[in-house]
Structure 1
Amino acid sequence: MTHTDTAAAGPEVTEPELAEPHLRAVLGTAGLAVEYVRAQDNTLFRLDEDGTEIPVVDFAGGYGSVLLGHNRPEIVERATELLASGTPVHAQFSRHPYANRLAAELNRIVHRELGTGEPYFAIFANTGAEAVEAAIKHAEMDRGMRLAALREELAEHTASARAAVAAGTATVTAQALGRAGLDAAAAGGDFEALAAELERHNAEQFARPPLFLSLEGGFHGKLAASVQLTHNEGYRAPFKALAAQARFVPRERPDALKEIYAEERRTVRDVRVVDGRVEVTEREFPAFCAFLVEPIQGEGGIHVLSPEFAAEIQRFCESVDCPVVVDEIQSGMGRTGALLSSSQVGLRGDYYTLAKTLGGGIAKTSVMLVREARYRKEFEIVHSSTFAKDSFSCHIALKVLELLEADGGAAYRRAAERGEALRRMLTSVAEDFPGVVKEVRGRGLMLGMEFHDQSGSASPALRDAAAGGLFGYVLAGHLLHRHNVRTFPTASALNTLRFEPSLLLTDAEIAQLEGGLRDVCAIMRDEAGERLANGPAR
C-alpha cells in the first residue's frame, strides 16, 4: 500500500503506507481520510484538487481538546515565548515551581466549585488515559496499604487471643467455632484449629484481585488497565488477561448498586476476647478499589449523569469506602460551563482526571487530582512519566486557566450560552424529523444527536452502513464533503453524532451544521442513500 504526498514546492513523492494504513483505508471508505493543512479558531482547512484551501467547520474539536479554539493566539504567543526562551522541557527529578503553581490554581477553582477547602494533590501525565491509569494505580496502592494495616490488626488480635487462652483467662466457645464454620465437637474447642480456619478464610479474601466499578457506556482510555474499565467489549476483549477486571453498572439504576454489593461483598473474620470468651466477628473487606464515572459519557453516546444517580453513587461509595474517580477528560475544563462538569450534578470525587483542553490544543498534558484524605505520598516514588510536569506544558496549562478565569469566568458563561444555542438548533432538527432523530443529549458544548437504527432501511447504502458498523462515519463523510462540516460519531455508540466545538462557535457555523443535518435527515427519511456523498480521500 502506498500514499502520495505533494510537497508545497517539490515533485510528487510516493511512500509506503506504514502509519496505521488499515485505519486510513477504513476512513477512506467513509470519505474521511482527508489531510488538514491549517487550523484556526473553529475551522480546519484542507486543500481541493487545485490546491485551494477549503474551510471546514470543526464540530469534533479534537475530541474536546480545543475548547478555546485551534491555535488560540494567546496560547500560541505563550508557547512561542517559552520555546524562544529555552524553557527546560527535560529537567526531570528537580524542583518544578510552575507545576506547583498549576496545582495551586487548579485547587483554587476546584475549591470554589465544590465549596470545600480540602487540598487536592496533583500527579501530572501526558494524556487522559495516563491520568486514569495513575488514578487507578493510586487507588490500588491506597487499598493495598489499607489491606496491610487490616492484616496486621487481625494478626495482633489473634496473638492476643492466643495468649489469653494459653494463660487460662479465655476459653474458645462452641459459638465462636460455629461462626468460623467449624464443628465445635470435632474441634474440641481448640484455639489453634480456630486460628488456622480464620487464617485460611482471610487468606482467600486477601488474595482476591481488586474490583473496579464503571458505568455501562463508560470510556476511560485504551491502555492496559484503563481499557478494562471501558465498557465497549470490542476494545476490552483482546486484552482481557492483562489487567484488572470491572463490574459495569447500568446507567441510572440505583438498585443495581445494591445487587452488585450483595454479589461482590466480602468479609474477613476477626477474633477478640470479650468477658473471658473468644468471639469471632465479621469485618468488611475492601473489595471495591474504585468507581469510575464520567459526568457526561463522551464515547458512550453523550449520556449525562443525573443528579439523582450521582447522589446514589456518592452514598454507595461512602458506605463501602470505595473512592470515586471522576473522569472529566472530555467534560471538564469549562466545556459545560464549569471546570468540573461533575460539580453541576453534585458529584464529588476522591480523584479527578483532567486533560484535553488543559493543554490548550497545543501542549500534551493531563493531571490526576487526589484529595488529601486519600493521598498516599509513597505514590510519588513508584509512579512517574518522562514528559509530565515539564515547564512548557505547565505554563501552557496556566495560560489556559487564565483565559478560562478572565473577566469573572466569561469563558465558562460563553461555553454555556453557545452550547444552549447549538442545542436549540439540534432540538429544532429533531422535532422536524421525529422518525429519524431519536434524541438530543448533552450539556454546554458537549452535545450528541442519536439517530434511529437504519438497519431496516429500504436503502441498501443506509442499510449496509448500519450493518457494517460505519453508519455514523458515513454520515460524517457526507457532512464533510457536501457541507464542509467536520464531526464524528461517538466511538461506542455509532448512531450518535458528537458536537464538541470551541466556544468561538458562531451563529453562522451553527446554521451551516443545521443545513448539513437537515440534509442527512432528509436522506434517511426518504431512504435515499444514493444521495450520500462518498468524496475522494486526499
Structure 2
Amino acid sequence: MSTNLENKKEELQVEDVNHYIKKVLQLIEKDKVTEEEARWITKETVDNFREHVNPGFLEYRKTVTKDGQFAAVEWSDEGSCFKDINGKVYIDCLGGFGIYNVGHRNPKVVKAVTDQLKRQALHSQDLLDPLRAILAKILAEITPGDLKYSFFTNSGTESVEAALKLAKMYSDRSTFISTTHAFHGKSLGSLSGTAKGMFRKPFLPLIPGFRHVPFGDIDMMRKTFESCYLVGEGVAGVIIEPIQGEGGIILPPEGYLKQVRELCDQYDAVLIFDEVQTGMGRTGKMFCSELYDVVPDILCLAKAFGGGVMPAGAVVAREKVFKSWFENPFMHTTTFGGNPLACAAAIATIDVLLEENLPARALEVGEYFLQGLKDASKGHEDKVLEIRGQGLMMGIEFHKDEVGYEVSKAMFDKGILVAGTLINSKTIRIEPALTISYEDVNTVIQAFKEVLSKVKG
C-alpha cells in the first residue's frame, strides 16, 4: 500500500514539474510579459534563489539597492542597456565586468551563433572541427608578435589554468610570481595566483610555488627572481594583468611591463598576460599588451571573447611554449572549449571589433568619459580620492567604502549599473559597452555629479 502511495506521489511531482517547465518555456517564447507574469517571475526568482541557489545573493542585492528593490530581475538587453522584468531600462556601466565589449546581443554575433546553431551546435570530439581551426588562424594574425597556437576554453579561470599548465610543461620549474591585488580566477590553480585573501584563506593550502610581489615594483620582482634561483627554485613563469581589474583599475608604472619582459627573458621564464578583462579592445587597443609594446609568451582571453553571447575563452601562445603539447594533444582538454557556437561568436566578435574600429573608439570615448567624471567630481575631493582609467576601463576610488556604496546604490536607483557593493565599494568600476553612445555617457556623468552632491562624505 505504501509503495502505491509513493508511486502516486512521484507521478504527481513529475506532473507538477512538467507543468512548471511548460509555463517557463512559454514565458521564454514571449517578447513581452504581462504585469501578472512579471510578478510571478519576480516571486519565483527570489524564492528559488533563497531555497535552491544561494540566499546570500539576495542579501548582496539588498545592499546595493533601495528598500524592496533588491528583487530587481533582469529580463532583456540590447545595445549598451538592459531591462528588468518590469521594463525599467538601465545603462550598463558594469558590463558583466567586461563581457559586453561589442554591446548587448550584437546583431552580427547573434546571427553568427544562430546560423551555426541551425547546422550544428557542438562538435563530435573526434572529427576536425573547422571553426576552431579558422579562429585559431585569426588569433595568430591579430595577436601581437609571434603568438601562434591557440587552445580554447569556456571562461577566464580556465584560460589561466591552461596557461599555468603550459608554463609548467615548458620547463621543469614550478615557481610562479604573481602580484598583489591580482585577480586571475577562483579555480585552485588560478586562485593560487589571485591575491585576495578573502577568496584564498578557506582553500589553503593552494597550489604550491606561488609568490606574490607588489604590482609595479620592478625591484621586488627582480629580487624575487634572484632569491628563487639562489635557493634552487627557478621561476617557471610570471602571471600578470597588464592593467589590474578586480584590484581597482591599477595602471602599471611607465616601463614596468617591459622590464618584467626583460626579467623573464633573462631567466627563461614564461610571461603570461592575463587579458581576460583588458583584451578585445577594452583599453583602446585590441590587446592591452599592444599599449605597452610588450609581447607575452602566453595571452589569456575570455569575457568579451564570446561577444556577450557565448561563454568563450582562449589561450594564445608562442610555438616554443606551446609545442610541449604537440606530442600528446590530450595533456589538457575541455569538452566544450572551442565548440562551434562559441567559435562562431568569437569570429563574429572580432569582425565587429575590426570593422567598426571599436578599440580606437574605446580610446576616444574613454578619454571623454574619464574627463567628464573628473570634472563632475570637482569640489568633492573629500569623497573622491582618484578617478583613473584607460580606454573604457575606469575606476572611481573613494576615501571610504561607505561612500562608494552610497554612490553605486544611488546610481542604480537612477537606472545606471556600476560595480560596487556594501563590502567592496572603495573603488567602483566603469566598464560599459565599447559601443556606448555619447548621449548615454553624458547621462552617466550628469547622474554621477548629482549623486556626489547629495551623498555624505
Q: Shared fold by TM > 0.5?
A: yes
2:175 touches 2:233 (CA, 8 Å); kept in 1?
A: no
2:343 counterpart (382, 388, 394): 394
Shift of 1:337: 1.9
CA displacement 1:451-478 (0-9 Å, x = unmatched): 1126xxxxxxxxxxx4xxxx64443222
CA distance in 1, matches of 2:126, 2:208: 30
One-letter amino acid of the structure 1 residue matched with residue 278 of structure 2: S
The residue number in structure 1 matching 2:80 is: 42
Establish whether residue 232 from structure 1 lines up as the match of residue 196 from structure 2. yes
1:294 touches 1:305 (CA, 8 Å); kept in 2?
A: no
Query: Which of the two has higher C-alpha Rg?
Result: 1
CA distance in 2, matches of 1:369, 1:490: 34
1:216 touches 1:248 (CA, 8 Å); kept in 2?
A: yes
Q: TM-score, normalised by structure 1?
A: 0.72
Q: TM-score, normalised by structure 2?
A: 0.85
1:363 counterpart (302, 310, 317): 310
Establish whether residue 486 from structure 1 lines up as the match of residue 417 from structure 2. yes
1:54 counterpart (81, 84, 88): 88
Q: Secondary structure at the match of 2:439?
A: helix
Establish whether residue 132 from structure 1 lines up as the match of residue 166 from structure 2. no
Q: Secondary structure at the match of 1:388?
A: coil
The residue number in structure 1 matching 2:130 is: 97
The residue number in structure 2 matching 1:462 is: none
CA distance in 1, matches of 2:418, 2:134: 36
The residue number in structure 2 matching 1:381 is: 330
The residue number in structure 1 matching 2:443 is: 512
Shift of 1:289: 1.7
Establish whether residue 26 from structure 1 lines up as the match of residue 64 from structure 2. no
CA distance in 1, matches of 2:281, 2:421: 20
Establish whether residue 243 from structure 1 lines up as the match of residue 277 from structure 2. no
One-letter amino acid of the structure 1 residue matched with residue 60 of structure 2: V
1:343 counterpart (290, 296, 300): 290
Between 256-265 and 132-141, report the one with greater CA deviation.
256-265
1:430 counterpart (377, 385, 403): 377
CA distance in 1, matches of 2:209, 2:200: 10
How many equivalent pairs are there?
413
CA displacement 1:418-454 (0-9 Å, x = unmatched): 1111111112123332222111111101111111126
Q: 1:313 to 1:490 in 2, by over 3 A?
A: farther
1:323 touches 1:351 (CA, 8 Å); kept in 2?
A: yes
1:476 touches 1:488 (CA, 8 Å); kept in 2?
A: yes
The residue number in structure 2 matching 1:73 is: 107
1:485 touches 1:512 (CA, 8 Å); kept in 2?
A: no
Shift of 1:379: 5.8
Shift of 1:491: 11
The residue number in structure 2 matching 1:312 is: 259
Q: Secondary structure at the match of 1:220?
A: coil
CA displacement 1:387-410 (0-9 Å, x = unmatched): 011111111111111111116xx2
1:299 touches 1:491 (CA, 8 Å); kept in 2?
A: no
Identity over aligned residues, as a percent?
27
Shift of 1:348: 1.6
Between 56-65 and 303-312, report the one with greater CA deviation.
303-312
1:490 touches 1:496 (CA, 8 Å); kept in 2?
A: no
Q: 1:361 to 1:446 in 2, by over 3 A?
A: same
CA distance in 1, matches of 2:140, 2:428: 34
CA distance in 1, matches of 2:411, 2:270: 42
Output aligned runs, 1:122-161, within 5 Å. 122-144=150-172
Establish whether residue 331 from structure 1 lines up as the match of residue 285 from structure 2. no
Q: Which has the higher strand share?
A: 1
CA displacement 1:150-196 (0-9 Å, x = unmatched): xxxxxxxxxxxxxxxxxxxxxxxxxxxxxxxxxxxxxxxxxxxxxxx
Q: 1:106 to 1:367 in 2, by over 3 A?
A: same
One-letter amino acid of the structure 2 residue matched with residue 39 of structure 1: D
CA distance in 2, matches of 1:83, 1:105: 21
CA distance in 1, matches of 2:71, 2:327: 46
Q: 1:119 to 1:511 in 2, by over 3 A?
A: closer
CA displacement 1:350-374 (0-9 Å, x = unmatched): 0000111110101111001110121
Shift of 1:263: 2.9
Shift of 1:23: 2.1
Q: Secondary structure at the match of 1:380?
A: coil
CA distance in 2, matches of 1:300, 1:263: 26
Aligned-residue Cα RMSD (Å) equals: 2.3
1:42 touches 1:504 (CA, 8 Å); kept in 2?
A: yes
Q: Secondary structure at the match of 2:257?
A: helix
